[in-house]
Amino acid sequence: MSKTDAVVIGFFIFVLAVFLGIELISKVPSILHTPLMSATNFIHGIVVVGAITIAATARGQLGAIIATAAVFLGTLNVVGGWVVTDRILGMFHRRPQPKPPAEKG
């Protein structure tokens, strides 16, 4: 298998993964987004570790650029997921109740 064939196959798998991801995410009910985000943040952390491992063994300038982009995008995904999860969970906090006025007497 030549390098061109490997790149084409890799790109094809990437495009299929994008379409599958979009299809799956669009079918998730709203009530499941918070637990789903919490679970996927853990998985994305593992993806970042894998991207760092691949970046350490990258050969050539193109490999280094792709590996750096993978680490950056993976980290961005983890941080964004945690921010979204924190905002969603923040909506469930009770607002402080105002204290009733003290009686004069």
> CA-to-CA distance for 31 and 44, rounded, in angstroms?
21
Assessment of whether the complete model's pTM goes beyond 0.75: no
Checking if the pLDDT of 60 tops 70, the result is yes
Q: Tell me how far the alpha carbon of residue 77 is from its chain's centroid.
A: 3
pLDDT at 69: 92
pLDDT confidence tier of residue 105, bands split at 50, 70 and 90: low
- Report domain extents, the chain: 3-90
CB-CB contact of 56 with 23 (8 Å) = no
Looking at every residue in the chain, the average pLDDT score rounds to: 82
> CA-to-CA distance for 84 and 68, rounded, in angstroms?
24
Reported as a single tens digit per residue, the pLDDT across 15-44 is: 999 999 888 878 877 777 667 766 777 777
